[in-house]
Amino acid sequence: MSVIFFKPRDSENGYKEASVDIKKYTSKKLKTIGLYTILDIIKHGEEIGLTVENNDSDDNMYRILELENVRIELIEWRVLSIWTIKIEIFNDDKSLIVYRSPYLDINWHSKIIEWAEISERWKPLEVQWDEKGEWCYYISESISKLAEKLEKKRRTDKLKKEEEENMQNHENERLRLYFNSLFKSERSQHKT
């Protein structure tokens, strides 16, 4: 599919016709960003070297993650016990909020997220952009890469822990055999 548009007037030929292949610009598949993924990255981002700013006060709890030209805020309004997630793009002194979630009910410790308002519960728990543009692709890719990095770190840590446990089990088995033979020889010496 292509769209025909006209370039500005050329002094010799009048208007020039040109076409743009829309598929070229719309073929990129926009990855969805789950709200749980954002919570997970903000909560555990320090494990992969991210700096997550904690700004807590009596009224609310803020967690802020800044990427290149992107700020993601997770805010708890303690008076109401509700949360919101805000994604903002910025450059110098200009900024634009591109996503603001409806109110969320988040259990920080059990990692459960659901919409706070019953009328919202039919919606998927994923980012639905308020403002659309190229930043959607950039932010989606960035969040996806961070989630993959966090998952890879978890797998590596799990394998490392399993390896340490196996080494400890082998060492314990070796020590059991040693002490078993030691006490067996002691017992046989006492019998004689």
Split at pLDDT 50, 70, 90, the class of 144 is very high
pLDDT tens figures, 82-136: 888 999 999 989 999 999 988 888 877 777 788 888 777 777 888 999 999 999 9
Measured N-to-C along each axis, helices 134-191 and 35-44 cross at an angle, to the nearest 10 degrees, of 60
Give the model confidence (pLDDT) of 57-77 as tens digits: 777 788 999 999 999 999 887
pTM over 0.85: no
Q: Rounded to an integer, what distance in angstroms lies between the CA atom of residue 140 and that of residue 28?
A: 12
Q: Cα–Cα distance between 130 and 25 in angstroms, integer?
A: 20
The band of 18, judged by pLDDT with boundaries at 50, 70 and 90, is very low
Domain ranges of the chain: 30-150
CA distance 85 to 71: 11
State how far the Cα of 148 lies from the Cα of 142, in Å rounded to an integer.
10
